[in-house]
């Protein structure tokens, strides 16, 4: 059986081989943590965006969309706290010259202890068989108890130091644990320093009057500074929401795991403006709505879980992540945050402009509270690929690689395949293609044996293959093959578009 690391490597290789994701600037050996979406990737990405946009903007009469600029006035980032506090602690190894996130070094150390615990547990499970009680084993086995308490003590020191922004204490912790650089193997560390995650650049062509501006690290601030413009021009009444899809940039110190953590990525964010005091009710509402959106795709429920935050960011009074089980474990896919009035009040203070809403029902003005739903488009893309990639053994003993992408998100919806290249079949297939491409992205393919053509479509996740054969010329029917079941049915060409529409339909939440 292949392990998850192997599966992840295969997914990355498949994404490249079949035109989903390429490393940026590959001919120059690539740019770290920056990726390009290829011909199939961009379709999948656009379909995810559409699925999100429809469910937010089309399905909710009180949510509208915007598309704000990536560049914003530099004071935005002072007000939002990103200039002062959007930092990660970093540390360099003087021998290898490699840079690490100091907290990640300690977290990796804890993960190793955790792995030892898990190894002991799985050994014991094998030994005791049916009778094994994991809980009892954890609470009674001396070695496991020692290891668990070591983890607790390290995590207490780490998160305490992070909270207090005590960089010296983080360094001392790394020294006490005798953590070595994975590359040089040495303990020759620099001090821990704060590293701001925002990319900056200069605006203005003459350097003397140049002003330092930033590439936005989140799309949310473009919504906050526009909320009153939208409210007034759209005659919106609280509660209402503003949705946006766009690029965000973070100079991540440790960028790894393919498109999971990138330096340039895309977010789909929605800020929902509510009456103060009603935010926790809306927080629960959006948690339910968002998980339903994920589950409607038909991916197994056990692949998702909530992780409620105990430690909250300075601006939040409730926060929960939707985590997805990636090949490298459960990790954050989407955040749902109750951001209070932190951002709007800060912008009111820094801009000296009133950002209050007049509530006609209450007959008073206030700064609204905000519930945010924020999902990384690239992480959503990776979750779909991770679920979809399957290696299947067929009845005849051969293997196929299939991407079981939910049909509504699949890059190409149908392939039109003449059984042979002669007898007028290509002409008939072209007719079908010309009609269907009015409604769906289709591919026409007449090269190679039909089985090989099916495999090519399976590998990019095309849900339906339509084969034009000799019978088609006689009675105007074709066969339609379902990607997952590989079953074929014969249908009238005039009904094709309608049948595909039915198959692609999805209920929006
Ligand atoms: P993490 O803890 O993984 O760094 P975060 O808590 O900083 O994420 P948020 O600031 O809440 O993330 O951003 C909202 C969403 O944007 C995340 O849930 C994630 O899907 C996505 N996201 C954040 N950083 C990145 C990144 N570097 N690359 C790709 N997606 C990202």
Per-residue model confidence (pLDDT) at position 208: 60
SS3 content of the chain, % helix, strand, coil (to 5): 45, 25, 30
pLDDT band at 506 (very low <50, low <70, confident <90, very high): confident
Residues whose CB is less than 8 angstroms from the CB of residue 239 and which lie 6 or more positions away in sequence, other chains included: 62, 272, 273, 274, 275, 278, 282
Measuring CA to CA, how many Å separate 254 from each of 28, 154, 292? 21, 21, 32
Please provide the DSSP assignment of 32-52 as one string.
TT-EEE-HHHHHHHHHHHHHH
Per-residue model confidence (pLDDT) at position 207: 59
Owner of token pair 């935005």: 76
pLDDT digits 0-9 by tens, 174-200: 999 999 999 999 999 999 999 888 999
Per-residue model confidence (pLDDT) at position 209: 58
Residue (of 197, 509, 219) closest to 375 by Cα position: 219
Residue nearest to atom 20 of ligand 1 (CA): 376
pLDDT digits 0-9 by tens, 200-211: 998 876 556 568
Map 106-118 to HEC letters: HHHHHHHHHHHHH
Neighbours of 147 (CB within 10 A): 16
335: Cβ below 6 Å to ligand 1? yes
How far does residue 376's CA lie from ligand 1's centre (Å)?
6
- Is residue 168 packed enough to be buried (19+ CB in 10 Å), middle (13-18) or exposed (0-12)? exposed
pLDDT band at 162 (very low <50, low <70, confident <90, very high): confident
Can you tell me the mean pLDDT for 417-432? 96
Q: Which atom of ligand 1 is nearest to the CA of 374?
A: 14
Per-residue model confidence (pLDDT) at position 2: 56
Strands 240-249 and 63-65, by their bridges, are parallel
How far does residue 323's CA lie from ligand 1's centre (Å)?
11
What is the C-alpha separation between 224 and 244, in angstroms, rounded?
Answer: 11
CATH architecture type of domain 87-196: 2-Layer Sandwich (3.30)
How far does residue 166's CA lie from ligand 1's centre (Å)?
24
**Topology alike, domains 48-72+197-405 and 412-504:** no
- DSSP H helical segments within 296-372, as ranges? 342-351
What is the C-alpha separation between 479 and 263, in angstroms, rounded?
Answer: 45
How far does residue 28's CA lie from ligand 1's centre (Å)?
27
Per-residue model confidence (pLDDT) at position 311: 74
Per-residue model confidence (pLDDT) at position 280: 96
Lowest mean pLDDT of 21-35, 69-83, 153-167, 229-243, name the range: 153-167
6: its two tokens? 């192997």
Lowest mean pLDDT of 37-46, 290-299, 313-322, 425-434, name the range: 313-322
Neighbours of 224 (CB within 10 A): 24
pLDDT digits 0-9 by tens, 345-383: 999 999 999 999 999 999 999 999 999 999 999 999 999
pLDDT digits 0-9 by tens, 330-352: 999 999 999 999 999 999 999 99
Per-residue model confidence (pLDDT) at position 135: 87
334: Cβ below 6 Å to ligand 1? yes
- Is residue 228 packed enough to be buried (19+ CB in 10 Å), middle (13-18) or exposed (0-12)? middle
Cis peptide before 432 (omega within 30 of 0): no
What is the C-alpha separation between 243 and 337, in angstroms, rounded?
Answer: 15
Per-residue model confidence (pLDDT) at position 205: 64
400 vs 206, higher pLDDT: 400
Can you tell me the mean pLDDT for 36-65? 97
What is the C-alpha separation between 376 and 392, in angstroms, rounded?
Answer: 30
CATH of 412-504, one of 3.40.50.800, 3.40.50.1400, 3.20.20.20, 3.40.50.2300: 3.40.50.800
Per-residue model confidence (pLDDT) at position 164: 85
pLDDT digits 0-9 by tens, 61-83: 999 999 999 999 999 999 999 99
What is the C-alpha separation between 161 and 70, in angstroms, rounded?
Answer: 33
DSSP element (H, E) containing 195 = strand 193-196
Per-residue model confidence (pLDDT) at position 228: 96
Can you tell me the mean pLDDT for 297-320? 89
Neighbours of 1 (CB within 10 A): 4
Residue (of 391, 468, 381) closest to 429 by Cα position: 468
Per-residue model confidence (pLDDT) at position 210: 63
How far does residue 37's CA lie from ligand 1's centre (Å)?
19
434 vs 210, higher pLDDT: 434
Contact of 374 with 272, CB cutoff 8 Å: no
pLDDT digits 0-9 by tens, 129-157: 888 888 898 889 999 999 999 999 999 99
Measuring CA to CA, how many Å separate 228 from each of 128, 240, 241, 358, 367? 64, 11, 12, 11, 11
- CA-based R_g, the chain, Å: 27
Residue nearest to atom 24 of ligand 1 (CA): 261
CATH of 48-72+197-405, one of 3.40.50.800, 3.30.930.10, 1.10.3470.10, 3.40.50.970: 3.30.930.10
Q: What percent of the chain has pLDDT over 70?
A: 98
Residue nearest to atom 9 of ligand 1 (CA): 335
Is the pLDDT score of 1 beyond 60? no
Domain ranges of the chain: 48-72+197-405, 87-196, 412-504
Residue nearest to atom 16 of ligand 1 (CA): 376
Q: What percent of the chain has pLDDT over 90?
A: 82
Measuring CA to CA, how many Å separate 132 from each of 120, 121, 123, 141? 13, 10, 11, 13
What is the C-alpha separation between 292 and 349, in angstroms, rounded?
Answer: 37
Q: What is the mean pLDDT of the chain?
A: 94
- Is residue 84 packed enough to be buried (19+ CB in 10 Å), middle (13-18) or exposed (0-12)? exposed
């Amino acid at each position: 059986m292949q392990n998850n690391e192997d599966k992840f490597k295969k997914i990355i290789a498949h994404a490249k081989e079949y035109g989903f994701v390429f490393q940026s600037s590959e001919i120059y050996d690539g740019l770290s943590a920056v990726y390009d979406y290829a011909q199939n990737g961009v379709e999948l990405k656009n379909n995810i965006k559409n699925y999100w946009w429809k469910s937010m903007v089309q399905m909710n009469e009180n949510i509208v969309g915007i598309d704000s600029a990536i560049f914003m006035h530099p004071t935005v980032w002072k007000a939002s706290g990103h200039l002062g506090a959007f930092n990660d602690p970093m540390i360099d190894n003087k021998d290898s010259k490699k840079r690490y996130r100091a907290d990640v070094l300690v977290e990796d150390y804890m993960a190793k202890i955790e792995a030892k615990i898990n190894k002991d547990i799985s050994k014991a499970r094998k030994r005791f068989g049916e009778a094994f009680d994991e809980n009892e084993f954890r609470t009674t086995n001396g070695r496991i108890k020692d290891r668990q308490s070591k983890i607790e003590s390290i995590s207490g020191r780490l998160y305490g130091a992070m909270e207090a922004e005590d960089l010296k204490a983080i360094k001392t912790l790394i020294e006490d644990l005798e953590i070595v650089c994975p590359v040089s193997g040495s303990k020759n560390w620099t001090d821990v320093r704060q590293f701001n995650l925002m990319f900056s650049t200069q605006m203005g062509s003459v350097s003397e009057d140049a002003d330092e501006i930033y590439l936005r690290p989140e799309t949310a601030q473009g919504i906050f500074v526009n909320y009153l413009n939208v409210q007034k021009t759209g005659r919106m009444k609280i509660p209402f929401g503003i949705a946006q899809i766009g690029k965000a940039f973070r100079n991540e110190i440790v960028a790894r795991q393919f498109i999971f953590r990138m330096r340039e990525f895309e977010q789909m964010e929605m800020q929902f403006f509510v009456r103060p005091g009603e935010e926790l009710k809306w927080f629960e509402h959006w948690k339910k709505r968002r998980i339903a959106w994920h589950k409607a795709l038909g991916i197994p429920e056990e692949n998702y879980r909530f992780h409620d935050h105990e430690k909250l960011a300075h601006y939040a009074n409730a926060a929960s992540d939707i985590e997805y089980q990636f090949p490298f474990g459960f990790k954050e896919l989407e955040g749902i945050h109750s951001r209070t009035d932190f951002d709007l009040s800060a912008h009111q203070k820094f801009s000296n402009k009133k950002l209050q809403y007049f509530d006609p029902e209450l007959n008073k003005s206030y700064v609204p509270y905000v519930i945010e739903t924020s999902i990384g488009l690239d992480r959503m893309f990776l979750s779909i690929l991770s679920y979809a990639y399957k290696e299947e053994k067929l009845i005849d003993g051969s293997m196929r690689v299939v991407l079981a992408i939910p049909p509504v998100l699949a890059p190409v919806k149908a392939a039109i395949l003449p059984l042979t290249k002669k007898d007028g079949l290509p002409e008939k297939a072209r007719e079908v293609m010309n009609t269907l491409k009015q409604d769906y992205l289709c591919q026409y393919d007449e090269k190679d044996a039909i089985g090989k053509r099916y495999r090519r479509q399976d590998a990019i996740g095309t849900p339906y293959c339509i084969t034009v054969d000799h019978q088609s010329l006689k009675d105007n029917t074709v066969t339609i093959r379902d990607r997952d079941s590989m079953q074929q049915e014969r249908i009238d060409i005039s009904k094709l578009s309608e049948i595909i529409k039915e198959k692609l339909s999805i209920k929006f939440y």
